[in-house]
Each structure stands twice: as C-alpha cells, then as structure tokens.
Chain A
Amino acid sequence: MAFIPHTTEDVAEMLSLIGANSIGELFDEIPAALLAAPLQGVPPALSEMQIGRLMSERAALDGRPLSFIGAGAYEHHIPAPVWAITTRGEFYSAYTPYQAEASQGTLQVIYEYQSMMCALTGMEVSNASLYDGASALAEACLTAVRAHRASSSRRILMPRTVNPTYCQVAQTIAGNQNLVLQPVDFDRSAGRTLIDALRPYEGEDYAALVVQQPNYFGVLEQVDALVDWAHANDMLVIAVVNPVSLAVLKPPGEWGTPAAAKRGADIVCGEGQALGVPLSSGGPYFGFMTTRMQYVRQMPGRIVGRTVDAEGREGFTLTLQAREQHIRRSKANSNICTNQGLTVTAATIYLSLLGALGLARVAEASMARTRELTAALTAVRGVRAVFSGEGFHEAVLGFDRPVGPLLAALAQRGIQGGVDLTERFPELGPSLLVCATETKTSEDIARFARAVDELQNPAALSRGAA
C-alpha cells in the first residue's frame, strides 16, 4: 500500500505549476557530492508470503533457549490479557494520538501509567515515557544539570556499578552537550559503591550522583548513605531502578535517613521492559522518568495532565508543553517529543492486572529463584560468588577459566548462561552475570547447574556415567 496520497497526475500538475520537470530537480541545489548513494545491500521488496516464511525460518534458528541472561532486560511471565488488550484497535498504533478531543482513552491510559510510576518510585510527577532505560539515564543527567539551580556544574558522578551500556549511551548523548560523567570505583568484595570512594569528591562542584538500585551486578547499594552523602555535598540524586524491584524495595523517594535535612532521590529513571514487554531481541522497550514537582519544567518528554473541559467535565490533555520542542524550538529541554505509547500501554495493563501484591510476588519469586540458582552454581567446583553484598535477582559468578567457551558450549545445549563480564570488568577475572526470574523452575536451574558442572569438570561426567 502506498502512503503517499498524491497521484501521478497530481505530481505532474504541481511540478508544471512551479516549472520543474521532476521531483529530483527540486533538490538540484544540493551539491552532487553530498547526495547519498542508493542504499546498498537492501534486497528488492518481498511479498507478505515470502517475508512471513523468511521470518519463520529465522525465528526457528533461535530455538527456544533456556535463558539466564538479565543485565537490563528481564524475562517475566506476561499474562495473556496484557497483549490481547494492548493490541485492540483502540490502542494499537505505532504513534500516540495526542489530539485531546479525539484521544481521551489513550490520554487516560498514559495518565494512569504516570500515576503508577509515581506510586512505584515515590515521586510526584512522571512523563509519558522515553525510548529506553539507557536514553532515560542520559536525559536524567541533562535534567539534573538544568534543575540544579545553585550550581552551573555540568559534571555528574557515575559509579561503575551503573549498567555500562547505559553509561555509554549517556556519554554519547550527554557528552555532546558538554556533560562530564566521572566514574566512581566500586568495592571489590561487596560489589557496591562505598562512601570512601566518594570522599575525593566531597565539597567539589558536581550537579548529581547517579545511584543504580539494584546495581548492574545485581547487588543492593547502600542507598540511604549514598543519598545523604550527595545531599550533604549539594548534589542532586539520580536513581536508576528496576520497577519490578520497587515492589519489595524502598521507593527512591524515601531513600536517605529520616534525620537528614533532605530526603529521597531527586530524579528517578530506568527501563520499563520488565513490566509486561517481551524481550523481542532487544526492543522496542520503554524508558521512564519521574521527579519532584519542583523540577517538572526541567523534565523532558510528554506529560499528560487531568483537567476539566468548558462544562466542568473531567478530561485529559497534554500539559506543560512550553518545555517542548514544538513550542521552545532550540531551547527545548530535549529533542524527545514523543513516547513509547504501545509498550507503555502494555505496562499499564500489566501493572493493573498484577496489582501491588502480584508485583511483589513476581519480585519475591525472582529473588528466591536467583538465590537457588546461585547456590546451585556455586556448588559446582571452580565456580564462586564474586560479591558478598546482598542482591535482588542477579548475581556475578567467578570462574577459574575463561567464560566465553563455557557460554558457547552451554548455547549448544540450548542454555543462554548469562553475560560475560570479563571484558568490561577485567579486574573481576573470568566472571558471569546471571539472572533467574519467576519463569525458571527448580528443574531449569538444576539443568543449568548440571551442564556447567559437566563442562567445567569433565570428570564429573565420567563419575556420573560409572
């Protein structure tokens, strides 16, 4: 189907009216050297039937692996109604219709989503979502620099326990706006950020400290101490959180000791995929951001508000648009001027179906499965837990030999064993980040541990066979 409404006759008529011979001629003023060549390596269009067949064949190549990979994207059970409702015609759109007079249902869903994210994070205002967790962190850094009115610093403290992919994306986006992201080292035995590592920055002019909870290693940071330290040193706190974990952990809005002068994170962001969005090879996911009302004008992205119409009836509409690009042009908070409407719809329905208790059960089951997984794997000779710090639903395991070949051999057996951290964190030695959620059974965990044992200790196999 063609999406261009003009017929060949329309085009010819318009061209003749302005005295041009072809559409190409309209671009004549662009020097030939600057014009992009035709796309390379893109095959001619396929029919729907051909595409369907190709995609089925590709999907079959993936197999149905048993996955213990986490590191930012998590496999959770998605109740059947979530996508049955999300894909209804009223919601199913690649673009979010914002026209208030025609889109009350969509706008209300986003408003409910914002309310849920505020409740989970303990913040006062949420935007309508961002692209993903990594870009949400980049936007949170930019927001913090704008929001910190007493300082014009563009420096942010970025602990190494923050997801390194997020740091890389934040560096790409915020680095181009002259932000400096200063890494802070972590404690080798506990696997978390210590106040001692922050001492060199005491009294220094930094806009914010980033705190990821649970951190990239799955370990729980001592958030109260970190928040108190940041506020005592006149820095804002950017929390990066897994929304599922918030069902059992303290919301960022309450981080810090009650006695402290100022309590709680100032900006909260993260990846929303775990809330009802399938892994789908990495996307589309959605990022979220919440903050305190005092910083709302520094927040990027769409915000849906509740209001009344001329007759006093409740309604929903986009609000505070003067922050945005279509109003403020180059001085807008961000060039983000859309959201991830469809995945946000799924998350809203997921949270509605599970409720607070259901989400807490998902979080608790995931923690229990990960404890079971860690116990099973560290019982294998040559495998040990790298960190002593208490965790959520991920853990780092250390090995006595390179992890790459082990992962390849596990994949041969239909098991995705985790993320090899050795390259990014060479100081840990051969190390593997593993995750188990409520989707894994005791049998799955036993199968994984047995495979690791057989691959690590071939003698075990012969003992078993004897």
Chain B
Amino acid sequence: MSDTLPDDLHYTKSHEWVRRLPGGEFEIGITDHAQQALGDLVFVEVPAPGRRVAAGEACAVVESVKAASDIYSPVDGVVLASNAALADTPELLNQSPYGAGWLMRIAVDAGGGTGGLLDAVAYAALLAEESN
C-alpha cells in the first residue's frame, strides 16, 4: 500500500493530505485510503473562500452512499479556493484523490507549515498499524 502514496505530500492521522504549491499555498484533499473506506461519494461540501480555518477544525463534509464524514483542516489559515467541480462531480474524489479530487487551497498563517504532519513513510506506518 505504501508504494501508492505520493512521497511529495504530507498527511494527517485523520487521512487528509497536504501539498505545498509553487505559490506557497497548501492544497488539501483526502487520501486514497480514505476514499476507499468511504465508498462512492455522492456529495462534497467545501468551505467558502475567505473562511478562516484552524488546524483540526471541521471545515468540509464528504458524503458517500453509506456515511458522511467531516474533513479537518490540517493547518491554520484562510481558504483561498475550493474545488467547484466537486459540486457536480463528487466522484472525482474517488477517481483521482491526489489530483482532480482536491478539496481546497489554504493560505497558511505566517509561521505555519507542515510541522506536526506525517510524511509518506510515517503515514504508511499508520495505515499498516490501523489495518492490524
């Protein structure tokens, strides 16, 4: 499983991923493991641009045919953009969790970063531990 994890991303224990974009902002999504566990997604609610979010705060909701789950912001910051395509095509999250299925982009507060997040190796270890 670990060999499918992009190693340029950071991860959270609640199965979000974080990508630092060239402009410095962070792109957030949910991992392949998370989308598989949720099943076919039918609805995604993302936060409105301009909203301030705190690390660990529930800021998006993904709903599958069997459950609805909160998505937690991995960082402190302000939402710059959210993925409008998910409103009509939530299945992008299933098809491309690390690409077209991104959820939101956040301008991280000064001093904030990927500290405290997991790298691919640590996240793979977490998944291995959870599957035991």
| A residues in contact (CB < 8 Å) with B | 149-150, 297, 322-323, 327-328, 331
Point out the residues of chain B lying under 8 angstroms from A297, CB to CB: 43, 45, 63
Question: Does B128 sit at the interface, judged by CB under 8 A?
Answer: no
B68 touches A328 (CB 8 A): yes
Q: B57-81: contact bitstring with A at CB < 8 Å (1 yes, 0 no)?
A: 0000001100110100000000000
| Alpha-carbon distance A323/B43, docked complex (angstroms) | 11
B48 touches A327 (CB 8 A): no
Count A-B contacts at CB 8 Å. Answer: 18
For A149, the closest partner residue in chain B by CB is B48
In the A-B complex, list the 8 residue pairs whose CB atoms are closest, starting with the nearest: A322-B68, A322-B63, A149-B48, A328-B68, A150-B48, A327-B68, A327-B67, A322-B67
For A152, the closest partner residue in chain B by CB is B51
| Alpha-carbon distance A323/B42, docked complex (angstroms) | 13
Q: B18-52: contact bitstring with A at CB < 8 Å (1 yes, 0 no)?
A: 00000000000000000000000001010110100
A323 touches B68 (CB 8 A): yes
For B45, the closest partner residue in chain A by CB is A297
| Alpha-carbon distance A150/B48, docked complex (angstroms) | 7
How far does the Cβ of A318 sit from chain B's closest Cβ, in whole Å? 13
Known contacts A297-B45, A327-B67, A327-B68, then 15 further A-B pairs from the complex at CB < 8 Å, ordered by chain A residue: A149-B47, A149-B48, A150-B48, A150-B50, A297-B43, A297-B63, A322-B43, A322-B63, A322-B64, A322-B67, A322-B68, A323-B68, A328-B68, A331-B68, A331-B70
| Alpha-carbon distance A297/B47, docked complex (angstroms) | 14
Main SS class of interface, A = helix
How far does the Cβ of A248 sit from chain B's closest Cβ, in whole Å? 38
Most A C-beta atoms less than 10 A away, residue of B43, B63, B67, B70:
B63
Task: Give 18 A-B contacts (CB < 8 Å), ordered by A residue.
Answer: A149-B47, A149-B48, A150-B48, A150-B50, A297-B43, A297-B45, A297-B63, A322-B43, A322-B63, A322-B64, A322-B67, A322-B68, A323-B68, A327-B67, A327-B68, A328-B68, A331-B68, A331-B70
For B52, the closest partner residue in chain A by CB is A152
| Alpha-carbon distance A30/B90, docked complex (angstroms) | 48
Most B C-beta atoms less than 10 A away, residue of A149, A322, A327:
A322
For B50, the closest partner residue in chain A by CB is A150
Point out the residues of chain B lying under 8 angstroms from A150, CB to CB: 48, 50
How far does the Cβ of A301 sit from chain B's closest Cβ, in whole Å? 16
| Alpha-carbon distance A327/B50, docked complex (angstroms) | 30
| Alpha-carbon distance A331/B67, docked complex (angstroms) | 12
Point out the residues of chain A lying under 8 angstroms from B70, CB to CB: 331
| Alpha-carbon distance A25/B45, docked complex (angstroms) | 48
Point out the residues of chain A lying under 8 angstroms from B68, CB to CB: 322-323, 327-328, 331
How far does the Cβ of A123 sit from chain B's closest Cβ, in whole Å? 20
How far does the Cβ of B38 sit from chain A's closest Cβ, in whole Å? 11
For A298, the closest partner residue in chain B by CB is B45
How far does the Cβ of B41 sit from chain A's closest Cβ, in whole Å? 11
Point out the residues of chain A lying under 8 angstroms from B67, CB to CB: 322, 327
For B65, the closest partner residue in chain A by CB is A322
How far does the Cβ of B69 sit from chain A's closest Cβ, in whole Å? 9
| Alpha-carbon distance A328/B43, docked complex (angstroms) | 15
How far does the Cβ of B71 sit from chain A's closest Cβ, in whole Å? 12
| Alpha-carbon distance A322/B68, docked complex (angstroms) | 6
For A332, the closest partner residue in chain B by CB is B68
| Alpha-carbon distance A322/B41, docked complex (angstroms) | 12
| Alpha-carbon distance A83/B48, docked complex (angstroms) | 48
For A296, the closest partner residue in chain B by CB is B43
| Alpha-carbon distance A322/B90, docked complex (angstroms) | 15
| Alpha-carbon distance A396/B48, docked complex (angstroms) | 46
Most A C-beta atoms less than 10 A away, residue of B43, B48, B64, B68:
B68
Point out the residues of chain B lying under 8 angstroms from A328, CB to CB: 68
How far does the Cβ of B22 sit from chain A's closest Cβ, in whole Å? 29
| Alpha-carbon distance A297/B67, docked complex (angstroms) | 13
Considering the complex, which residues of chain B in the window 72-119 have a beta carbon less than 8 Å from any beta carbon of chain A? none
How far does the Cβ of A72 sit from chain B's closest Cβ, in whole Å? 35
